[in-house]
Amino acid sequence: MTNRKLILMRHAKSDWNEPGGGDFDRPLAKRGRKDAPHMGAWLRKKGLIPERLLASPARRAKETASLVAEELEFDEGRIEWEERIYDASVEVLLKVIEGAAMETSCLMLIGHNPGLDDLLEFLSQDKPQYEDDKLMTTAAIAVLSYGEGPIQTAAKSARLELLIRPR
C-alpha cells in the first residue's frame, strides 16, 4: 500500500507594487517567479508528484501553480482551480481536502496564509516549528504523511515530514 501524503504550498512572493487591481489580482514578484519553479524542481527530485493539484484562483497562486506544475511535468489543464481556497479558514480548507482526498495517495494544495499556517498546526501531530517561528512563508512547502491510511482531516491526524523554504 502507498504512503499517503498531503503537500501544502503557499503561493510564491507576490508584487505589492503592481498598479491597479486588488489583492486577488496581485501577480508574482521577480523572486516569486524564481522560487516557484525551484520548489517544483525540488518536489520532482524528491519524487513528490501529486495525483491531484488544487489551487486558489488568485493570480499569485495561479502563477505559482502553473510554474510548479511545469517543473513536475503535471499537465496544467489538470490543475483544479478551487475558489474556496482563497482567504479560507481551516474549516473551509478541511472541506476542500475531504472532497479531493478520496482514492488519492498524494494531494497538493496551493493557497494562502493565514489559512495554511492554521491548517498545518491543526493537522500536524507535533507542533510545527521553524527557527524564526514562521511556518508557511512564501513558496514554503509542508509535506504531511498519513502512512498507509487515507488522507484525513481530523486534528493531529498527520505526521509532518518536511517543512522547507526556497532559501
The 10s digit of each residue's pLDDT in 20-47 is 678 999 999 999 999 999 999 999 999 9
- Supply the pLDDT for residue 103: 83
- Mean residue pLDDT of the chain comes to 94
What are the extents of the domains in the chain? Answer: 5-164
Bridge partners of 9, per DSSP, are: 110, 141
Q: Is the pLDDT reported for residue 111 higher than 90?
A: yes
What 126-131 contacts at long range (C-beta under 8 Å, 24+ apart), as own/partner pairs, is: 126/159, 126/160, 128/160, 128/163, 130/163
Q: Residues near 77 by Cβ (< 8 Å), separated by ≥ 6?
A: none
Q: Residues 80-105: what's their mean pLDDT?
A: 96
Please state, in angstroms and rounded to a whole number, the distance separating the CA atoms of residues 37 and 132: 24
CATH topology for 5-164 is Rossmann fold (3.40.50)
Which H or E element spans position 32?
helix 30-45
Q: Which residues pair with 164 in a beta bridge?
A: 141
Task: Band the pLDDT of 149: cuts 50, 70, 90.
Answer: confident
Q: Which residue would you say has higher pLDDT here, 103 or 156?
A: 156
Residue 115 is predicted with a pLDDT of 98
